[in-house]
Structure 1
Amino acid sequence: MKKSFIIFLNLLLISSIQAQKNDWENQNVTQINKEKPSASLFYDDSSNDVTSLNGIWDFAYFDDVSKVPANAKPTKWNKIQVPSAWEMQGYGTPIYTNQIYPFDKNPPFIAGINGNPVGIYQREFEVNEIQDKEVYVYFGSVSSAFYLWINDQKVGYSQDSWSPATFNISSYLKKGKNTLRMQVFRWSDGSYLEDQDGWRMSGIFRDVFLVEKQAVHIRDYFVKTDLVGDGAQLNLQIDLSNNTKKKINKYKYHVSIKDDEGKVIVMQELGASAVVNISKEIPKIKRWSNEVPNLYTLNVQLKKGKELVDEFQSKIGFRDIAISDKQELLLNGKPIIIKGVNIVEHDPVNGKYVSKERMEKIVKLLKQYNINTVRTAHYPASPYFYKLCDEYGILVIDEANVESQGMKYEEESLAKDTSWQKAHVERLEAMMHRDKNHPSVIMWSFGNEAGNGVNMEAMQRVAKTLDKSRPTHYHIIDGGVSYDIYGGGIIKFGKYDFFGRYQSVDDLIHLGEKGTDRSYLLNEYAHSMGNSTGNLQEYVDVFEKYPNLIGGCIWDWSDQGITKGTDGSYGVKIKDEETAHQKCKTPGQDFYWVYGGSFGDKPNSGSFCINGIVFPDLTTSSKTEEVKKAYKEIAFSLKNFNQGLIEITNKYHVINLNKFDFEWLLLKNGKKISSIPFSISLEGLSKQELTLPQWNFVENSNDEYVLQVSAKLKENSKWAEKGYEIAFEEWVLAPQKTSQMVLKSDKKVSVKDAGSHIEVIASNHKFLFDKASGNLLKAIKSGEEIIAGGMELSFYRAPVDNDRSFRKDWDDFQPDSLDCTVNSFDVRVVGNNAKLLIAKSYKSPNKKIEISTYEVFTVTGEGEVIVDLGLDYYGDALPKSLPRIGYTAKMPRTYDEVSWYGKGPGSSYNDRKTGMRMGIYTATIDELFTNYIKPQANGNRSEVRWVKVGDQNPIQISSQEPINFSLQKFDAYLLAKARFSYQLKENEYNILNIDFEQGPLGNGSCGPAPLKKYCVQPEKSEYKLNFKFFN
């Protein structure tokens, strides 16, 4: 008896403590008086029973919850735009952190250096009729938790920043003017499940609606489709809300489905009840797919006699998702490869509020760049985004708002704590109910970096109870695999890994060869931070080779930079976004994009949020072009150049290639000599050999030929105009190699020893060579300096973000600080040519590495310069790859235009060049520069046969082998030192880099090292350059 009494007292004490917890610091209180989740029955205020409450609200900000007045009733109000993030409206501080919580880690409590700020929102609205009405207020997204008052009466509480919160406010209303007030907490216990890599912001991020319904109305619906031959089995469930005590036997449903031409394919009338299920076999339908997103209009009316009580319309699609015995992902019965990206909701001016216009621009770009899938990282996206994906044809991996990586993955993981199970499950339920009717949603994801355990098992049980038609997905295998599709884990860099993503190509080959017990999706790969996205094609090749490897999603879509002025302005203070963003893309301006730590935010993860294949304003780059090329669905392979025989593969499922205009184009030494349009009819998932029409090729062994084939849209589409190129390929037929000949000249050279330097005069050219450094000091023609500040051999480039995998090697090597010694300097006159033979050694500061070089500069009587370079490497700590091998020359600033024959028009590197094509291009020095948010090496052009710099008295550089070049206003040391683009100030000279080798980009900022075949190996090697000077 005594023992039982003690237990009773302990339970009483626990209950008392529990009761004293704040709702926002109690994982067991996730909502109060909130409506059950349901499908999105509206997206905007176009319906008669929906009124938008977006606009200007009253607002009061408090930097900590302890300062909020009683009943959240401030004495002074400011104004704020809704929706918005209040940090972008001038209140509080944006914080970017990846893993570390912005508060002390002590779940479920909130404390720490940032306090817990609160925003009080208030606005008035009118209700003209309240009798026999049910009035709801709908919040699309509020971060992170809030209380709601109507007319000073407390209605309820909600948390989960990225799912809707709906309250029935009927009993709190009065006829006429009413007042809505909210107390929004920046952080709550729910924030422990919202540790997503991104900017931490607060406020009302999405639409707010007032919804007026009759007492009996439609509450929810669920459309399920099963394909049967050319037709489909439709299963429709409709849920009714009856807020009266009366029977509803006089109510009826009128259900119709129309195709895109308005033809009725289903018409049915039936009696209404709390839950109604309709099953209908439709003999012939047009299937929905990402290629051809056929949609039908579902219309459901609730009537009482002839009176229309309630009605909704929804676009629906007939499609099927399944997994084959080979672990292939099947769309409508055919294997599909996920060629995807992760998208984080972000706007450089508005923060976590993303407009419909921006969303539509994103979806159009996805289609234009052959991206077929979006993973909503790492929470459900705006409802409008799914509507666009349905209409345009984008597959969606829908991810629950569950991430708790700050708690790590061991026993303290919240996934293993059953007291947090309710919060895990409710977030999944909210997403699934809201998005269940979208044909674009093909997969449910349990979240990201949230550990694994009993709570994920509970999520799987709930997912399969709610919806068996879609597979589930997650990426941590430790603690048991309860989901259908692996999103990571098993192996990383050749070793077992329960968690990892960003596997190497070799890792994926291992998984493909060994096989897996379920489909494997690389839900994050190709970490596109800064100048990056190397060896992408190799990943796609592996996805397409192994059935169980169903694809991947690049991390990520857009750089999460925030637009900021040098005067400190950002957010609502940016008055002209277009001008500001144009300046952000130009170095040295008074606007620039920023990352973590730029607002004094602590903790912060620096520039780790700058990972996009597009810039914050959605401007594309060479990274985007590489993705477009790798993800294309029309493939070309060359069978015989001389015969013009190619093979075309149609990787689309249902699109016939007769929807495209094709063209072949032939270049001779970079210049177009012929181009012929052609067409082909080829069904999906098939291939065909084709001899190019009107092909009449006669090879000259001294010339280089490039064959290019492209496919363009034949008609206008929703996402691009007629003529838009969707795929291309090219092949190079190189000339036979001959030895580089030194030009013979009747003109003689003169050589003069001027003490500190050697002076070589050839015709109207003068070249000065420094004895101490062994470098070319100046190249002068007709009195004009062309190389003005010297030219030196260099192994250094400003680090790119993905160089992390080489960082340890380069800490030993220190290519920016090599000690150069001239071992010999010999000058000879051979016939009418001068030869300067210079031997040097470059030693690392720690003396562990030495590079021995031997240069021969041959100056002809015509003023042409031939450079022969030999290198050898010594030491026990040689790096796995060098940043570069080449020359850096300082040119007068008037040398600011360039033309070249090589890959273009954008930048390219040895492992990121397939998105560019061969040709002759012209650009200014500004056009050559890519202004990455965190300055780094950029602007390289590869596969260059020749490059000409300058307009007056230009210099042309060429070689027997393709070379690289860049021309910039900033040297590598300034690029390496600067944190932001506004800090870049022009050098005294323009910097010309001519490289025999340029190091790879890879994905190493959060992934494997670049592929070995692309690395610049420190091996004995020889190179040659030719410099010509023109009038």
Structure 2
Amino acid sequence: MMTVRALIFVFCILFSNSIFSQNTQIVYLSGTDAAHTVDWDFYCTDGQNSGEWTKIPVPSNWELQGFGTYNYGHDWKKANIKLGKEHGLYKHEFEIPASWKGKTVNIVFDGSMTDTEVKINGKLAGEIHQGAFYRFKYDISKLLKYGKINLLEVDVAKHSSNESVNQAERQADFWIFGGIFRPVFLEVLPGSHIKRAAIDAKADGSFKSFIELNGPGLGYSVAVQLFDLEGNQMGQTIRDKIEDGNVEKWISGKFENVKSWNPEWPNLYDMKISLKKGEEVLHETTERIGFRTVELREHDGFYVNGEKVVFKGVNRHSFWPETGRCLSEEHHLTDIRLIKEMNMNAVRCSHYVPDKRFLELCDSLGLFVLDEVTGWQNSYDTIVGPKRVKETILKDENHPSVVIWNHGNEGGWDFANEKGFHEYDIQKRPVIYPWLLRNGADTHHYPAYNYAIGRYINGNDPFMAAELLHGLYDGGLGAGLEEYWKKYQSSPLHAGGFLWVLADEAVLRTDLEGTVYDGDGNHAPDGILGPHREKEGSFYTVKEIWSPVQVKPVTINRRWNGKLFLENKFIFTNLKDCSFEWKAIKTGFDKTENEITGKGTCQSPFTEPGETAAIKVNFGKALQKADLLLFTANDPHGNELYTWSWPVIQTDEKAAELIKMIAGNPSEIEVSESEKAVTVSIPGLEVSLSKMNGTLLSVKNRKGVVSFTGGPVPAGGNTEITDLQWSKEPGKNFTFEITTNNYPEKIKWTLEKNGLLLLEASPLQNELRDIDFFGISFNYPEEKCKGIKWMGRGPYRVWKNRIKGSNMGVWDKTYNNTVTGESFNNLVYPEFKGYHGDLYWAIMQTTESDFTIISETPHLYFQLFKPEKPKHLAGGTHPPFPEGDISFLYEIPAIGTKFKQPEALGPGSSKGYFRGHKGDEGYPIKVWFDFRSKE
């Protein structure tokens, strides 16, 4: 928190450095962001801590500071929930230097929720501002006491007196807060000054600028200079006269040798515009700009700098659990870095205008931005609406990142208010209506895979879902994205999509005992990230699918020729500017670590966007000892795009190696029988199998019982035992064979003299339809499991329609009971429970005795217990699981979204189908168990 003394110091520095300058001076009355605040006097009229004057940090949302009433936007229609309509009264004193007399002093609010009345020294600064997310200002020059202390009083009403504002902002599907949540500052300008400088800078270096003055003058001129970010002037100064008496001026020109702006190469410049009278500089203002050209070509697509753009984006709320909509520099940076880490190039600011600082960072780090005027599913009226449109454009017009204006969301518009965009935006950026086909773009939300007749890939207009694959818990988002994307890319009208949403919006409730993070049931946990930006599994799926470098499918083994074929999915970047590296790994096992058997870099191929090229991995003899090959693509700025991994060896090869490693000395096997069981043993191990069905009844080793029992039983089918036989010849292994009338037709247990137990279940021969899962299951008490180390796809669980993003490797994770989107007070990722892919081996870490599982079956899924069902289940976000605790499966289910069952997400999300034939040489489930105590 910034102290008053520190604030005065900043004030004095700003003043002393600029007293003889004609630049705009900015003096903060509040703090600059959530991490740097200033205490003001505060009085809350209702709810928590109401009825007395106290202090509050500014900027902030008052609920998060322990005042007022928490409400989610849907609460207005719930009779049992109090709808907080409190006011927040603010007071703050500030000193104005006497030397400011004759200057223009504006007080500027960057965001206040919602109706805001401002008084200076007891007098109204202007009309009450209505609308929560917009920059507004008042000229208070005539209300100030120069050389004296001045009093600022602000009355903020959480709900508006204008019902259309409430319907647009307060009755929405997001948290609604109160308070001055963005900075408040003084803007100090010379008596004659530039009131507005709108700039349209094109990719070829040409520009035009609309200059608006605060008043007319005689003998005025304007000069435009361009500087790179090191302060070097680019080209010559461009000058033009302003006709006497005019307050508006258009000026244009062209700068040579400028680099255009795009998200892959976010080149920026400072444009200084000076208002002069003769040789005297009256006022200078500097705008940081990028040169880029934006077009929406009818029946074609969105173009930036002449290149067709595919937006790979996400919807983002301005939100942090402990600060609400009041954000810090680090919050903005965190979100932008994570968005770019997922290989996204765009963000939609849903459902309101973002902080100015967020846009500045999108400019410099490189993201396309869809800037949205609020209106969730209802609109501002034609009195308030045009004012909010104007404020949006005047604040954000010069940001190169802003390439599209969104006029509301899902019906949250009045078409009559659109004209304001065209009137004020000199760049004439496209104006879209998220979920409509209008103004040349189809932005329908949450399309099913087979959508639609005459629209999207079957339509005549560029299409992009402004909201795509509605996440909830672990559903949607990455799940289903691969098939959608492949289908959409088949159309030249494909313009991209924006996933819903970046992060779970769970807020810290200061009105409840303890530390409670509240996502309002299933309304807010829709993110790819947790509320504190914890990465869910879909994060890596999106990262792989949307990587601008794609690797064509390839099989890698020890006879591989070293060629990978790379597709360049960049828009503006040649692969020659990227870097590529590889690593071969011999995997560790149990207590041993991975060993690098070779590594190196690859020559970057000259490959333009849209082209495919071969790249050579010169691995020498590195693969002869390796189990895995890793290949990494890095962008021109050194950021990892993705690391792919492939197994070099088959599961049966790795199994043979491990079995040889862990096998004990041969011992004679002893067999005994009871009425219900056959018990076989060697020194240190005893295994009992049911004489009724061949299932595992008990396992004991030197440490005691290992509670792995109850299988194998079919997962996803029914069967009846037709025959059981067991045998043990002297000096031989013990075998127990089970025959059934359905899958698996043959099951065979073998206890070898070396102490290892082998299970073989014959492959499916007949036809099965509409399969959720298929394989065999066992039981193990969840409470006795401490963790797992395994080789396979990880570290996150997988679903049938979310395999991408999970990489081959050796992974280790501790038991947790995370319920994605609900366990906000103990949110541990990756989740422990669920389906895992491509099992090679696993060591179950337990409170009893660790045991090892080794698979010989390729592409075998491994179920590890059942995730708990979320309390507020919706759509297809809780797929089925087998009855058992630990399963080995050929097939697993897909996961759906908040609004759709998996079957609506494409063929790859549908239920499974299998048909075999007699004579097929299929792949039995063949799994080894080592239950022996390691001590």
TM over 0.5: yes
Q: Give 1:136's match in structure 2, choosing from 95, 106, 111.
A: 106
| Residue 896, structure 1, aligned to residue 896, structure 2 | no
User: What SS does structure 2 have at the residue aligned with 1:459?
Assistant: helix
Note if contact 1:772-1:822 (Cα within 8 Å) is conserved in structure 2: no
Q: Give 1:59's match in structure 2, choosing from 33, 42, 45.
A: 42
- Equivalent residue, structure 2, for 1:787: 707
User: What SS does structure 1 have at the residue aligned with 2:260?
Assistant: coil
Note if contact 1:53-1:208 (Cα within 8 Å) is conserved in structure 2: yes
| Residue 278, structure 1, aligned to residue 251, structure 2 | yes
User: By how many angstroms is 1:139 displaced?
Assistant: 1.0
1:303-314 aligned at under 5 Å gives the runs 303-304=276-277, 308-314=281-287
Question: Match for 2:318: what amino acid?
Answer: E
| Residue 237, structure 1, aligned to residue 206, structure 2 | no
Q: Give 1:711's match in structure 2, choosing from 633, 636, 652.
A: 633
Using the alignment, how far apart are the partners of 1:425 and 1:874 within structure 2? 67
Q: Deviations over 1:789-824 (max 9, x none)?
A: 7667585xxxxxxxxxxxxxxxxxxx9xx9x99867
Note if contact 1:259-1:296 (Cα within 8 Å) is conserved in structure 2: yes
Using the alignment, how far apart are the partners of 2:342 and 2:425 within structure 1? 34
Using the alignment, how far apart are the partners of 1:977 and 1:685 within structure 2? 43
Note if contact 1:760-1:834 (Cα within 8 Å) is conserved in structure 2: no
1:75-154 aligned at under 5 Å gives the runs 76-97=52-73, 100=74, 102=76, 113-129=82-98, 131-154=101-124
User: By how many angstroms is 1:734 displaced?
Assistant: 6.2
User: By how many angstroms is 1:264 displaced?
Assistant: 3.2
Quote the sequence identity (%). 21
Using the alignment, how far apart are the partners of 1:1000 and 1:679 within structure 2? 41
Using the alignment, how far apart are the partners of 1:315 and 1:512 within structure 2? 37
Q: Give 1:915's match in structure 2, choosing from 782, 792, 805.
A: 805
Note if contact 1:937-1:972 (Cα within 8 Å) is conserved in structure 2: no
1:68-79 aligned at under 5 Å gives the runs 76-79=52-55
| Residue 378, structure 1, aligned to residue 296, structure 2 | no
Using the alignment, how far apart are the partners of 1:912 and 1:474 within structure 2? 30
- Cα separation, partners in 2 of 1:141 and 1:886, compared to 1, 3 Å: farther
User: By how many angstroms is 1:486 displaced?
Assistant: 1.7
What is the number of residues matched between the two proteins? 847
Question: Match for 1:174: what amino acid?
Answer: K
Q: Give 2:851's match in structure 1, choosing from 943, 954, 959.
A: 954
User: By how many angstroms is 1:629 displaced?
Assistant: 1.0
Q: Give 2:727's match in structure 1, choosing from 804, 826, 829.
A: 829
Using the alignment, how far apart are the partners of 1:223 and 1:459 within structure 2? 21
User: What SS does structure 1 have at the residue aligned with 2:288?
Assistant: strand
- Cα separation, partners in 2 of 1:696 and 1:134, compared to 1, 3 Å: closer
| Residue 505, structure 1, aligned to residue 475, structure 2 | no
Question: Match for 2:734: what amino acid?
Answer: N
- Cα separation, partners in 2 of 1:733 and 1:872, compared to 1, 3 Å: closer
Question: Match for 2:433: what amino acid?
Answer: Y
User: What SS does structure 2 have at the residue aligned with 1:391?
Assistant: helix
- Equivalent residue, structure 2, for 1:182: 154
Question: Match for 2:634: what amino acid?
Answer: K
1:837-916 aligned at under 5 Å gives the runs 837=738, 856-869=748-761, 880-882=770-772, 885-890=775-780, 896-916=786-806
| Residue 198, structure 1, aligned to residue 116, structure 2 | no
Using the alignment, how far apart are the partners of 2:888 and 2:107 within structure 1? 63
Note if contact 1:124-1:179 (Cα within 8 Å) is conserved in structure 2: yes
Note if contact 2:276-2:283 (Cα within 8 Å) is conserved in structure 1: yes
| Residue 515, structure 1, aligned to residue 430, structure 2 | no
Note if contact 1:337-1:544 (Cα within 8 Å) is conserved in structure 2: no
Q: For structure 1, which segment, 382-391 or 957-966, has the greater mean C-alpha deviation from structure 2 after superposition?
A: 957-966
Using the alignment, how far apart are the partners of 1:398 and 1:349 within structure 2? 25
What CA RMSD, in Å, does the superposition of the two structures yield over aligned residues? Answer: 4.1
- Equivalent residue, structure 2, for 1:586: none
Q: For structure 1, which segment, 824-833 or 428-437, has the greater mean C-alpha deviation from structure 2 after superposition?
A: 824-833
- Cα separation, partners in 2 of 1:1008 and 1:669, compared to 1, 3 Å: same
Question: What's the TM-score once normalised by structure 1's chain length?
Answer: 0.74
Using the alignment, how far apart are the partners of 1:891 and 1:995 within structure 2? 17
- Equivalent residue, structure 2, for 1:988: none
Note if contact 1:400-1:427 (Cα within 8 Å) is conserved in structure 2: yes
Using the alignment, how far apart are the partners of 2:69 and 2:620 within structure 1? 66
- Equivalent residue, structure 1, for 2:430: 471
- Equivalent residue, structure 2, for 1:15: none
Note if contact 1:472-1:484 (Cα within 8 Å) is conserved in structure 2: no
Q: Give 1:525's match in structure 2, choosing from 465, 468, 473.
A: 468
- Equivalent residue, structure 2, for 1:4: none
Q: Structure 1: which 5+ residue stretches go unaligned?
A: 1-45, 69-73, 106-110, 406-413, 489-500, 571-591, 597-605, 796-814, 842-850, 981-990
1:613-692 aligned at under 5 Å gives the runs 613-637=528-552, 642-666=560-584, 673-685=597-609, 687=611, 689-690=613-614, 692=616
Note if contact 1:527-1:1003 (Cα within 8 Å) is conserved in structure 2: no
Q: Deviations over 1:534-569 (max 9, x none)?
A: 132223323433221100011111111224699824
User: By how many angstroms is 1:216 displaced?
Assistant: 2.4
Question: Match for 1:208: what amino acid?
Answer: V
- Cα separation, partners in 2 of 1:170 and 1:1007, compared to 1, 3 Å: farther
Using the alignment, how far apart are the partners of 1:892 and 1:332 within structure 2? 57
Note if contact 1:909-1:998 (Cα within 8 Å) is conserved in structure 2: no
| Residue 550, structure 1, aligned to residue 499, structure 2 | no
Question: Match for 1:608: what amino acid?
Answer: H
- Equivalent residue, structure 1, for 2:8: none
Note if contact 2:671-2:678 (Cα within 8 Å) is conserved in structure 1: yes
Question: Match for 1:523: what amino acid?
Answer: A
- Equivalent residue, structure 2, for 1:1027: 928
Using the alignment, how far apart are the partners of 1:113 and 1:979 within structure 2? 22
Question: Match for 1:502: what amino acid?
Answer: Y
User: By how many angstroms is 1:872 displaced?
Assistant: 9.2
Q: Give 1:254's match in structure 2, choosing from 220, 223, 228.
A: 223
User: By how many angstroms is 1:992 displaced?
Assistant: 6.2
- Cα separation, partners in 2 of 1:1020 and 1:96, compared to 1, 3 Å: farther
Note if contact 2:632-2:644 (Cα within 8 Å) is conserved in structure 1: yes
Question: Match for 1:521: what amino acid?
Answer: M
- Equivalent residue, structure 2, for 1:30: none
Note if contact 1:525-1:1007 (Cα within 8 Å) is conserved in structure 2: no
Using the alignment, how far apart are the partners of 2:587 and 2:43 within structure 1? 67
- Cα separation, partners in 2 of 1:992 and 1:510, compared to 1, 3 Å: farther
Note if contact 1:959-1:1025 (Cα within 8 Å) is conserved in structure 2: yes
- Cα separation, partners in 2 of 1:823 and 1:681, compared to 1, 3 Å: closer
Using the alignment, how far apart are the partners of 2:761 and 2:863 within structure 1? 20
- Equivalent residue, structure 1, for 2:233: 263
Note if contact 1:771-1:825 (Cα within 8 Å) is conserved in structure 2: no
Q: Give 2:506's match in structure 1, choosing from 561, 566, 591.
A: 561
User: By how many angstroms is 1:307 displaced?
Assistant: 5.3
User: By how many angstroms is 1:286 displaced?
Assistant: 1.0
User: What SS does structure 2 have at the residue aligned with 1:381?
Assistant: coil
| Residue 995, structure 1, aligned to residue 888, structure 2 | yes
Question: What's the TM-score once normalised by structure 2's chain length?
Answer: 0.81
Using the alignment, how far apart are the partners of 1:159 and 1:536 within structure 2? 39
- Equivalent residue, structure 1, for 2:519: 595
Using the alignment, how far apart are the partners of 1:323 and 1:254 within structure 2? 32
- Equivalent residue, structure 1, for 2:441: 485
User: What SS does structure 2 have at the residue aligned with 1:191?
Assistant: helix
Using the alignment, how far apart are the partners of 1:331 and 1:778 within structure 2? 67
Question: Match for 2:310: what amino acid?
Answer: I
User: By how many angstroms is 1:147 displaced?
Assistant: 1.8
Q: Deviations over 1:755-794 (max 9, x none)?
A: 5654333453212346789752322223533335766758
Using the alignment, how far apart are the partners of 1:112 and 1:699 within structure 2? 64
Q: Deviations over 1:475-517 (max 9, x none)?
A: 344xxx54232211xxxxxxxxxxxx2223333798454232x
- Cα separation, partners in 2 of 1:198 and 1:396, compared to 1, 3 Å: same
Q: For structure 1, which segment, 890-899 or 778-787, has the greater mean C-alpha deviation from structure 2 after superposition?
A: 890-899
Note if contact 1:460-1:472 (Cα within 8 Å) is conserved in structure 2: no
| Residue 213, structure 1, aligned to residue 110, structure 2 | no
Question: Match for 2:88: what amino acid?
Answer: G
- Cα separation, partners in 2 of 1:132 and 1:740, compared to 1, 3 Å: closer
Q: Deviations over 1:680-711 (max 9, x none)?
A: 242531535435253557999xx996544322
User: By how many angstroms is 1:320 displaced?
Assistant: 0.7
Using the alignment, how far apart are the partners of 1:665 and 1:958 within structure 2? 25
Using the alignment, how far apart are the partners of 2:721 and 2:553 within structure 1? 50
Q: Deviations over 1:147-195 (max 9, x none)?
A: 2222222333011111112122223222311222222111122121114
- Equivalent residue, structure 1, for 2:14: none
